[in-house]
């Protein structure tokens, strides 16, 4: 089945952009995903093709109009009838690999890319739009964020990455950062590859990688580490609970 992506944007020329090359580009050529790009301005209702207006209550910037957005979403729905609708916004719920996996296993996605100060809030409830952020940074628009989200989904589509990389050992998949990698030359500018990786002892290598993954997560991402520890404690007590029940 083809994963159907629909982009709603004021800058259609930004697509496919990086998604037209490499893994994503080949996957699109192979029909593993499709892209429809919709110009939001085509759904403006006045002769000046206005898409935004001043914020109610005053203040800086402009706000994308709910009526124009609503009409563009309704149009997208006719081509992409069941996919979730996502708006890229720094006010959204942070994107996670778990949500990316869910999206990638579904029919596709309709993505609303904002510009200016943002969207008229009424659009979210009116069209069942999920607000998603790609991190605590502010971009000049949702397009680069949408490209990130799509890229993360596309690489997980069946047959896109190939058998060699199932993706299950990667950062975040086990709730931890991935272990560090090395390749030849064995020595470079006086720096060597850790001895254990050259030992050929697969059990020892696996142990080293697990330890590195834990150390790096603890030092670099204490938030992930805390969650991982919490999940471990919970699953251990769940296991004890299950063992007790039969007796
Ligand atoms: N648009 C502007 N900043 C954004 C962010 N951090 N995430 C998603 N969309 C955005």
Please state the φ and ψ torsions of residue 219, each to the nearest 5 degrees: -80, -40
Q: Which of 11, 61, 64, 89 to mutate to test the pocket of ligand 1 (most atoms within 8 A of CB)?
A: 89
What is the structure's pLDDT at 94? 98
Does 244 score more than 50 pLDDT? Answer: no
Fold annotation for 3-154: Alpha/beta knot (3.40.1280)
What is the structure's pLDDT at 240? 53
Q: What is the pLDDT of residues 60-75, one digit of tens each?
A: 999 999 999 999 999 9
Q: Which of 10, 118, 132, 133 to mutate to test the pocket of ligand 1 (most atoms within 8 A of CB)?
A: 133
Q: What is the pLDDT of residues 79-91, one digit of tens each?
A: 999 999 999 999 9
Q: Which of 92, 116, 143, 148 to mutate to test the pocket of ligand 1 (most atoms within 8 A of CB)?
A: 92
The alpha carbon of 11 and the centre of ligand 1 are apart by a number of angstroms equal to 15
Domain(s) of CATH 3.40.1280.10: residues in the chain: 3-154
The alpha carbon of 146 and the centre of ligand 1 are apart by a number of angstroms equal to 9
> How far are the Cα atoms of 29, 63, 126, 208 from residue 185, in angstroms, in the given order?
36, 54, 58, 20
Q: pTM of whole model > 0.85?
A: yes
* Span 29-42, average pLDDT: 98
Contact present, 120 and 69 (Cβ < 8 Å)? yes
Q: How many CB atoms lie within 10 A of CB 78?
A: 7
Strand, coil or helix: 37: strand
Distance of alpha carbon 126 from alpha carbon 66, whole angstroms:
9
Distance of alpha carbon 100 from alpha carbon 181, whole angstroms:
24
The alpha carbon of 71 and the centre of ligand 1 are apart by a number of angstroms equal to 22
Does 246 score more than 80 pLDDT? Answer: no
């Amino acid at each position: 089945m083809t994963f159907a992506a629909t982009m709603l944007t004021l800058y259609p020329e930004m697509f496919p952009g990086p998604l037209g090359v490499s893994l994503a580009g080949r996957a699109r050529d192979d029909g593993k995903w499709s892209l429809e790009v919709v110009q939001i301005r085509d759904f403006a209702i006045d002769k000046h093709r206005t898409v935004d207006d001043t914020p109610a209550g005053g203040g800086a910037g402009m706000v994308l109009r709910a009526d124009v957005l609503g009409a563009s979403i309704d149009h997208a729905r006719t081509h992409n009838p069941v996919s979730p609708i996502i708006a890229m916004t720094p006010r959204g719920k942070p994107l996670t690999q778990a949500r990316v996996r869910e999206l990638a296993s579904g029919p596709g996605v309709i993505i609303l890319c904002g510009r200016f100060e943002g969207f008229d809030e009424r659009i979210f409830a009116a069209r069942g739009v999920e607000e998603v952020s790609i991190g605590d940074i502010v971009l000049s628009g949702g397009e680069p964020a949408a490209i990130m989200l799509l890229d993360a989904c596309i690489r997980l589509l069946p047959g896109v990455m190939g058998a060699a990389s199932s993706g299950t050992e990667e950062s975040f998949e086990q709730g931890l950062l991935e272990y560090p990698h090395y390749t030849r030359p064995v020595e470079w500018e006086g720096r060597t590859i850790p001895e254990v990786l050259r030992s050929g002892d697969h059990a020892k290598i696996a142990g080293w990688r697990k330890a590195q993954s834990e150390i790096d997560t603890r030092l670099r991402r204490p938030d992930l580490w805390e969650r991982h520890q919490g999940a471990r404690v919970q699953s251990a007590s769940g296991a004890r609970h299950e063992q007790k029940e039969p007796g």
